[in-house]
Structure 1
Amino acid sequence: MNLISLDIRMLRSLISVVETGSITETARRLGRTQPAITLQLQRLEELTGKQLFVHGGRRLALTEDGGIVLTYARSILRLHDELISQLASQEIEGQVVLGTPDLYAAFILPSILSVFRKSFPRIQVELNCALSTPLVELVKRSEVDIALVTRMNDFTGGQVVRREQLVWMTGEQSAAHQERPIPLALLPQGNIYRDHAIAALEAANLRWRIACQSESVGGLQAAAFAGMAVTVLGRSALVAGMRELGPADGLPALPQVELLLYKSSGATSKAATALHDYLAHYLRLGDQLGETGVPIDMG
């Protein structure tokens, strides 16, 4: 068996192309030209001796072998980046203000921040929990260094680092979804979770009423646990004592939402850069967009 050596940059390009669905976006993120990224992918196929993509037209999908290489590439890159971070972490110190809605603070970020603290013990992270719209304004004013938020219709900028599937939820023993009008526990007006929920019910000609409005996910969950209402949250927030509802329960399907990562123009410290890059990398690793068969735009 001939031993081969795979360049870490090839693996990084492969992962980025799958995650972004675009060679153009990958080239922008990695600071390379589009032909250079294409050449790296072709070279990766040559070195592995496997066809990694189903070729034909502008849009490609990963082959079975491509999916295998992608899985190992993620593991290799994770260990590579952890090593580099560990070697550099002892020298980086400072304080970073991270803003995010309490939904993500409670259900998405804990495991990532726990590992980050071990890798960068001298960086202090201050968590600021608020709704997405005010957080984006705080980032623009440099009052928050980094923010992980839900993309709203009027948001510009930021990096898409994850997608969350919205789902209807209620208490395990609740029959609130059978009531008419349907009692809802929702975030305040202007939030896209609320907009999607109401739009879906209206499209299905289902009557509804607001039974609970809360800026906190805890308030929405309390109403659902008590059987007072049905709420809409990301699937990551489905906890014991609650159950997911869907078309089989008479409720319409809901879309996914995009999570954006922002960095303030004033956040120039090594500590802020370390946290931003760490979040961007590990949130993308957890995103389901990287599964085999996702179309890839070669433009």
Structure 2
Amino acid sequence: MDIEALRSFIAFVDTGSFTRAAKQIHRTQSAISMQMKKLEEVTGKPLFIKEGRNLGLTEHGRKLASYARRLLAIHDQALSDLKHRSDHPPLMLGCPDDYADSVLPQLIALILDAHPQQEISILCASSTRLRALLDRGELHAAILTRAPEKDEGYLLVHDKGVWTHGGYPELLERDLLPLVLYDADCKFHSTAIDALEKQNRPYQLIATSSSATALKGMLNKGIAVSALASSTVSGDLTILEETDLPDLPAVDIVLALAPHPHPALTAGDAAEISAKF
């Protein structure tokens, strides 16, 4: 099987979209469609199935995805091992700000365990923006949040949203629930607002930010409550265990790679990191 066709196939599996896969691979959608047809011809099995307006994987497609990840990992690791480490360029790594002091340090430590001399450049931004940068080839890898039913990336942490404040339970008694939330493209932002409105619970959205430091600072000052990922709640904040506030969704924190990964962070490396988290 053609290695680049398998790379295109995994790009579709990870993104769930031929449009995004085409951007990542720097090919046209028609070229990727031809690659997928050839894969189906080579395997002799249908790999895709219609799921409403979207395409999903058949049982054969899911089986091929498992093999393809391993084949790509071996291929990329072989190329990496044949290159001297000093030839490696800086690793461009993206991370949402809320995971910068929890998930990111552990990931960096594991990368450096394998490549002690590797230089790493870190960009903090929302998962939405980081996906766009991966698509444009401006990042080698990124920590992202995904819905648990998706196949994107390599799992690092199962997480969930929680309501939290900085030690000011009286905020919950206000006629208008004061909120500070991540920006609108955050899953917890949209879920919290939608659920409060369905409950007919009056609220005041005081501020939004992409900065975890800014949100936690406002919580510690007693300005508002917030919806955060449980793994990012620091010891100075209080998680509301029993509350009439709406439930928040579960999410997976994953490591997503560019289709052509950095030599110091191949698919094989990502799989090993996932197993160690």
* Normalised-by-shorter TM-score class: 0.5 to 0.7
Q: 1:167 aligns with which of 159, 162, 165?
A: 162
Give me the CA root mean square deviation. Answer: 3.1
- The answer on 1:224 being equivalent to 2:219 is yes
Residue pair 1:96, 1:271 contacting (<8 A) in 2 also: yes
Using the TM superposition, give the Cα deviation of residue 25 of structure 1 relative to its aligned residue in structure 2, in angstroms. Answer: 4.4
Using the TM superposition, give the Cα deviation of residue 249 of structure 1 relative to its aligned residue in structure 2, in angstroms. Answer: 2.8
TM-score norm. by structure 1 comes to 0.60
- The answer on 1:252 being equivalent to 2:243 is no
Letter in structure 2 aligned against 1:209: Q
Q: Answer with 88-97 or 139-148: which moved more.
A: 88-97
Residue pair 1:89, 1:119 contacting (<8 A) in 2 also: no
Q: Distance in 1 between matches of 2:130 and 2:65?
A: 26
TM-score norm. by structure 2 comes to 0.64
Letter in structure 1 aligned against 2:176: P
1:53-92 matches, cutoff 5 A: 92=85
Partner of 1:77: none
Partner of 1:270: 263
Residue pair 1:158, 1:263 contacting (<8 A) in 2 also: no
Aligned residue pairs: how many?
205
Q: Answer with 156-165 or 94-103: which moved more.
A: 156-165
Q: Distance in 2 between matches of 1:23 and 1:168?
A: 41
Using the TM superposition, give the Cα deviation of residue 119 of structure 1 relative to its aligned residue in structure 2, in angstroms. Answer: 2.6
Q: Distance in 2 between matches of 1:89 and 1:253?
A: 50
Using the TM superposition, give the Cα deviation of residue 229 of structure 1 relative to its aligned residue in structure 2, in angstroms. Answer: 0.6
Q: Distance in 2 between matches of 1:234 and 1:277?
A: 28
Partner of 1:178: 173
Distance 1:200 1:90, change over 3 A: same
Residue pair 1:157, 1:262 contacting (<8 A) in 2 also: no
Distance 1:277 1:126, change over 3 A: farther
Can you give the 5+ residue segments of structure 1 that lack an aligned partner in the other structure?
1-21, 33-83, 287-299
Using the TM superposition, give the Cα deviation of residue 226 of structure 1 relative to its aligned residue in structure 2, in angstroms. Answer: 1.0
Partner of 1:28: 65
Q: Distance in 2 between matches of 1:226 and 1:89?
A: 54
Using the TM superposition, give the Cα deviation of residue 284 of structure 1 relative to its aligned residue in structure 2, in angstroms. Answer: 5.4
Using the TM superposition, give the Cα deviation of residue 89 of structure 1 relative to its aligned residue in structure 2, in angstroms. Answer: 12
Letter in structure 1 aligned against 2:249: P
Q: Distance in 1 between matches of 2:211 and 2:131?
A: 18
Q: Answer with 170-179 or 235-244: which moved more.
A: 170-179
